[in-house]
């Protein structure tokens, strides 16, 4: 299979040069790039779909990118040109911004960002800019936070399925380990106390020190937000075990239907845990890559009530700063509260429409999706299309979808899903016309599979009926009928 060849070609570094390099470089598996999640991207890049230039190319449905409200951002920039030319009250700010080097970040940007984070949460909680550390995206924030709270060999418990990039972000350079909290489709992949306990016990069997639980809320790839019950379980567990809770909330602004998103900050407030020992072990990761659709701006943040974590993370942030011009532009944009309110409302409406388009399109061909209320993707159930209910069967189906149907989607196994047959399908990184084309391709593919299955079933039924008839006849009749068939076939 092509994907196997790709894995083997990168798994073997040049034998002469490899001894001169760090094992972090030569051990490609540690980075996680050999996952089918990344291999699908590579196949897309070789043959990308374009409505005119390459209409038969691969459609990228493996990229969680929000392009649905980009016109709103462009409109704001057009109406506020001074933000891009670094002027205020007709005075140039170019020199001031160009020479700004404080890795604590522009105060105006940090103030605007925490207000935006509060607005997303319905102003139920407030954030102190002194507890905010700016990083070059959520990837940097995740790694930095793990560096701050864990030693090499320490472990984090993470509910499955989870974002494939965590194998790189949390483990590759930090030396930390991930122990999965196995969740089941039987309850919609919700976190249970027994699943958390099982993961903790598994870590102890491996002689791993558990430093915390790491969750994504809303979840990638589930497209669901954590319930009050799940959050209660998490807080009770970290309180009992005296460990950390890291909540990746980069999709907090993508919620488009009920239930509402509940941040860990709201839980701290509702439980009267602000400024307690527990609050010092609860941390948030945030980014503007998903909510505003600005992954190229590399804007991420760590929010923590732990002064030691904030101090250490701030020092480490010097290895991955956000450019001062980016901070200035976004401070102006996010300070426009009228605009941000409009953006969040309209973006939510568009996400809801697009998600419903995908869900209904798949339902028409007999494919259901996990019910979601957030995110830029759906977790899609294709178990009935597998030849075998195994992860091998899942990869075989994934390969057909990538190479034959020409859609890049992410198999559940790349997200460490404990059950084969689930796939993450993104819907916000393309035009509606492209999404409709993708649904047409899926329809043709499913119809082809079902047609072959029906033919096999009919053939088996014919054989079964024939066997039943022959049992009721004398042997000489059966023997004669076989001879007639042989004569007929020779003609």
Answer for the pair 144, 158: CB distance below 8 angstroms, yes or no: no
User: Quick check: pTM over 0.95?
Assistant: no
Other beta carbons less than 10 A from residue 326's beta carbon:
20
DSSP state of 287: E
pLDDT by 10s per residue, the chain, length 491: 554 454 444 444 555 555 567 666 555 555 666 777 788 889 999 999 999 999 999 999 999 999 999 999 999 999 999 888 877 877 887 787 777 777 788 999 999 999 999 999 999 999 999 999 999 999 999 999 999 999 999 999 999 999 999 999 999 999 999 999 999 999 999 999 999 999 999 999 999 999 999 999 999 999 999 999 999 999 999 999 999 999 999 999 999 999 999 999 999 999 999 999 999 999 999 999 999 999 999 999 999 999 999 999 999 998 888 998 999 999 999 999 999 999 999 999 999 999 999 999 999 999 999 999 999 999 999 999 999 999 999 999 999 999 999 999 999 999 999 999 999 999 999 999 999 999 999 999 999 887 766 666 665 666 555 555 555 555 544 454 444 433 333 34
CATH of 71-340, one of 3.40.50.2300, 2.40.50.660, 3.20.20.60, 3.40.640.10: 3.40.640.10
Bridging pattern class, strands 300-304 and 132-135: antiparallel
CA nearest neighbour of 231 among 210, 257, 249: 249
- Name residue 247's beta-bridge partners: 215, 284
CATH of 2-69+345-446, one of 3.90.1150.10, 3.40.50.1000, 3.40.50.720, 3.90.650.10: 3.90.1150.10
CA distance linking residue 404 with residue 107, whole number of Å: 52
Bridging pattern class, strands 91-92 and 87-88: antiparallel
Q: Where are the domains of the chain?
A: 2-69+345-446, 71-340, 448-490
What kind and span of H or E run contains 446?
helix 432-471
């Amino acid at each position: 299979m092509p994907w196997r060849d790709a894995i083997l070609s990168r798994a073997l570094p040049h034998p002469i040069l490899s001894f001169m390099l760090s094992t972090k470089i030569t051990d490609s598996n540690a980075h996680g790039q050999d996952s089918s999640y990344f291999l699908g991207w590579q196949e897309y890049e070789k043959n990308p779909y374009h409505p005119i230039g390459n209409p038969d190319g691969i459609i990228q449905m493996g990229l969680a990118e929000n392009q649905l409200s980009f016109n709103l951002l462009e409109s704001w920039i057009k109406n506020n040109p001074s933000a891009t030319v670094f002027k205020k009250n007709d005075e140039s700010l170019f020199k001031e911004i160009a020479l700004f080097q404080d890795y604590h970040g522009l105060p105006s940007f940090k103030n605007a960002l925490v207000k935006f984070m509060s607005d997303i949460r319905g102003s139920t909680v407030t954030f102190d800019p002194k507890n905010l550390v700016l990083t070059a995206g959520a990837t940097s924030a995740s790694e930095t936070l793990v560096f701050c709270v864990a030693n090499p060999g320490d472990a984090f418990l993470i509910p499955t399925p989870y974002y494939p990039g965590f194998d790189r972000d949390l483990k590759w350079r930090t030396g930390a380990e991930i122990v999965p909290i196995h969740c089941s489709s039987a309850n919609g992949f919700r976190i249970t106390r027994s699943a958390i306990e099982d993961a903790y016990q598994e870590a102890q069997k491996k002689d791993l020190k558990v430093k915390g639980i790491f969750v994504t809320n809303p979840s990638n790839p589930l497209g669901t937000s954590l319930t009050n019950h799940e959050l209660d379980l998490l807080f009770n567990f970290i309180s009992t075990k005296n460990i950390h809770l890291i909540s990746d909330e980069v999709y907090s602004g993508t919620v488009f239907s009920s239930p509402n998103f509940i941040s860990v900050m709201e839980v701290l407030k509702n439980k009267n845990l602000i400024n307690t020992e527990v609050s010092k072990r609860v941390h948030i990761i945030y980014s503007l890559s998903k909510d505003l659709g600005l992954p190229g701006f590399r804007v991420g943040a760590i929010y923590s009530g732990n002064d030691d974590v904030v101090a250490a993370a701030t020092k480490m942030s010097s290895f991955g700063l956000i450019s001062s011009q980016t901070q200035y532009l976004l401070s102006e944009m996010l300070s426009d509260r009228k605009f941000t309110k409009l953006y969040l409302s309209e973006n939510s409406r568009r996400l809801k429409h697009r998600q419903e388009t995908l869900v209904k399109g798949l339902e028409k061909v007999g494919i259901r999706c996990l019910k979601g209320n957030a995110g830029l993707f759906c977790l899609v159930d294709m178990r009935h299309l597998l030849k075998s209910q195994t992860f091998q069967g899942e990869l075989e189906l994934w390969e057909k979808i990538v190479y034959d149907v020409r859609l890049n989607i992410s198999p559940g196994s790349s997200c460490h899903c404990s059950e084969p047959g689930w796939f993450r399908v993104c819907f916000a990184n393309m035009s509606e016309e492209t999404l409709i084309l993708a649904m047409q391709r899926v329809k043709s593919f499913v119809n082809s599979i079902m047609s072959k299955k029906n033919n096999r079933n009919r053939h088996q039924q014919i054989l079964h009926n024939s066997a039943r008839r022959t049992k009721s006849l004398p042997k000489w009749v059966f023997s004669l009928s076989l001879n007639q068939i042989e004569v007929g076939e020779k003609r």
